[in-house]
Structure 1
Amino acid sequence: MTKLSDVRVVATSVLVSVSDVVLNLVVAIFTGSTVMLSQALQGLSDLVTGGLLFVGVKRSKRKADAKFQFGYGREIFFWVLIASIIMFVGTGAMSVYFGYQQVVYPSELDNIWLALTMLVFGLATNGYAFSLSLRRLREQGDLQGEKWWRQLAHSSLIETKATFAIDFLGTSAAILGLLAIVSYVATGFAQFDGVGSIVIGLTMMAAAAMLINDIRDLIVGRGVDDETLRKITKSTLSVKGVNAVLDLKTMFVGSSKLFVVVEVHLQDSFTTDQIEHIIDEIKRDVRKNVPIVRHIQVEVETPDDELRV
């Protein structure tokens, strides 16, 4: 099976958002439904968000130069932060506002069949985009020997996490919209339409807040989880001639791009050529067992207790 790229995941999310904006806005005008208006607002926000993610992914793939010697990988964090803020305010808050208006000042809906048809179509398209985001998380999890949900919780695949959130919310919003419209048809209470819009908005605001919190950690300089640290340590100690790992520091320098600094204590009596060979072997083994390692620096040090002797 062909490996799924981050560009394809983001591009699919953008195309789905375009259809959500155009079709849901038309349906909202013909039906007067705030749920459909919320769907259109979500699509518009998702379109802007997806566009920003697409720009961020492309710019973050630029090669390193003299000014940015570790590359431009961290730029994706900036674009996802902007996209998350738009998701919070542009989609969540506005959906809550229009839903509140429908609850307080309810109005009858027209052409219900049109709204139901559009919601089913939106469920199918957002569901497909969501399946691609989930597939990419699974592929990255298999590459690391981890479950996909650990990738969602601990990895730096922030652009995939963002599209995962967008597509999951799009799918969930379509389901909530269907429930709201069906409830309206069954009871005749237009307030159900407004309640559906409010729930959709609050769900999106919560997802955006979680994304912002994750991005904040990555911008500050978050490293890997304990399990990955153990893998790096184990790989380093497996190299013949390494007595101990004295210190280990990590930091994400982009989406699924890790910078590692490891201090090692070697056995005595090695020549310079032998030490260089051991360092090269450490780098090779660490990259093999932890593929997200993009840059690794190995420093040979003497333990503090030996220095005091």
Structure 2
Amino acid sequence: MAEREGDGRHLLADVPGSGAGGEGRGESLTTVLVAFGANVLIAIAKSVAALATGSASILAEAAHSWADAGNEVFLLIANRQAHKPADELHPLGHGREAYVWSLFAALGLFVAGAAVSITHGVQELITPEPAGHFVIGYVVLAVSFVLEGISFAQSTRQAKGEAATLDRDLIEHVLATSDPTLRAVFVEDAAALGGLVIAAAGLFAHQVTGSAIPDAVGSILVGLLLAWVALLLINRNRRFLVGQEADPKVRQAALQAILAAPEVARVTYLRLEIVGPRMISVIGDVDLTGDDTESHVAVRLRALEAKISASPAVAGAILSLSAPDEPTLSV
């Protein structure tokens, strides 16, 4: 692809996140694989503990972990499909597939995690069952907390690194990032750690009081937590699917970079739309320097598009000429 003359860099080299395409994808894949491995081990351990103890809270946590493990499969598909190369039918690539598969994962969390946990908790309130072998439950919950912590540490490390490049705090970046796999793993791991605390409290209250009610309430609370997480993820994926503008900081940096190009006199319109994880399309109106013939202007315009598209973060650029009376955008 075309490079900027003189320094060998693409035109948007200094735009936050413009060079993190391949690296970000590999980091996201590692994050999902770590989460998948941890959730499978945890789900098996919790299922055994649920059978041994008869605890409703631990059973809810087992359903939670199986749902998370299944979701990681969807996220792996999302990561793979989103990075298929562009083709004639998809000139901007397949990036939005990431949001489709991540939406499936969020729906799975809602059905297989939240609905199952709440339903079982209500059933336990209606027909309570005594629990036993509490030590097994505590050991499994403790081990699960460690494994979930490892997965959470990986997603946190990735999120912090990306947040620093965009001058965001951690939570702000997790909610705003265009990478749905990172957001899903981070939020699900955080919910898992909270769910383990709820399950341990429910199990302890069951042991102390001899009543199954606290345990059943714990199962319902875990389900409500998962429902909230699922709805959050569904809403975020919906927003990216219908088309969302890039971060204002990215837009400002891109505008500044285009205006700084020697062939550009004015930029009167600029839209950066997210079309996949860390991928944007660029649409703009520009006024080129000089007073060339129409054919030469067209060649220069295509060359400028090529410079912009050379960025790993740009799926495509379409530029038109500004009208003479249109004011330039301010940086």
The alignment's TM-score, normalised by the length of structure 1, stands at 0.88
Gaps of 5+ in 1: none
SS of 1:5's partner is helix
SS of 1:264's partner is strand
**Cα distance in 2 for residues equivalent to 1:133 and 1:303:** 49
**Cα distance in 1 for residues equivalent to 2:292 and 2:163:** 39
- Equivalent in 184, 193, 201 of residue 162 of structure 1: 184
Partner of 1:69: 91
**Cα distance in 2 for residues equivalent to 1:24 and 1:197:** 13
- Equivalent in 205, 211, 226 of residue 204 of structure 1: 226
Partner of 1:231: 253
Partner of 1:5: 27
Q: Which amino acid aligns with 1:21?
A: A
Structure with larger RCO (C-alpha < 8 A, sep 6+): 2
**Cα distance in 1 for residues equivalent to 2:50 and 2:302:** 67
Displacement after TM superposition at 1:244 (Å): 2.5
Partner of 1:81: 103
Partner of 2:238: 216
Displacement after TM superposition at 1:270 (Å): 5.2
Partner of 2:113: 91
Distance 1:292 1:262, change over 3 A: same
Distance 1:301 1:282, change over 3 A: farther
- Equivalent in 108, 115, 118 of residue 130 of structure 2: 108
Q: Which amino acid aligns with 1:299?
A: S
SS of 2:257's partner is helix
**Cα distance in 1 for residues equivalent to 2:302 and 2:282:** 18
Gaps of 5+ in 2: 1-22
- Equivalent in 294, 298, 301 of residue 319 of structure 2: 298
Q: Which amino acid aligns with 1:131?
A: A
Q: Which amino acid aligns with 2:272?
A: T
| 2:93–2:315 contact (8 Å) kept in structure 1 | no
Establish whether residue 279 from structure 1 lines up as the match of residue 304 from structure 2. Answer: yes
The superposition leaves residues 180-224 of structure 1 with CA deviations (integer Å, 9 ceiling, x where unpaired) of: 222223333321111111111001101110111111111111121
Displacement after TM superposition at 1:268 (Å): 3.6
Displacement after TM superposition at 1:96 (Å): 0.7
Query: In percent, how many aligned pairs have the same letter?
Result: 23
**Cα distance in 1 for residues equivalent to 2:279 and 2:229:** 24
Q: Which amino acid aligns with 2:75?
A: L
Q: Which amino acid aligns with 1:226?
A: P
Displacement after TM superposition at 1:79 (Å): 0.6
Q: Which amino acid aligns with 2:318?
A: Q
Q: Which amino acid aligns with 1:283?
A: I
Q: Which amino acid aligns with 1:120?
A: A
SS of 2:132's partner is coil
Displacement after TM superposition at 1:150 (Å): 3.0
The superposition leaves residues 73-116 of structure 1 with CA deviations (integer Å, 9 ceiling, x where unpaired) of: 21111111111111111100110111122223222211000000
Deviates more, 1:206-215 or 1:142-151: 142-151
**Cα distance in 2 for residues equivalent to 1:217 and 1:305:** 31
Displacement after TM superposition at 1:278 (Å): 7.8
Report the aligned-residue RMSD: 2.5
Q: Which amino acid aligns with 2:313?
A: I
| 1:73–1:255 contact (8 Å) kept in structure 2 | yes
Establish whether residue 18 from structure 1 lines up as the match of residue 66 from structure 2. Answer: no
**Cα distance in 1 for residues equivalent to 2:91 and 2:308:** 19
Structure with the higher fraction of residues in helix conformation: 1
The alignment's TM-score, normalised by the length of structure 2, stands at 0.83
Displacement after TM superposition at 1:293 (Å): 3.3
Deviates more, 1:54-63 or 1:275-284: 275-284
Residues 165-184 of structure 1 correspond to what in structure 2 (within 5 A)? 165-184=187-206
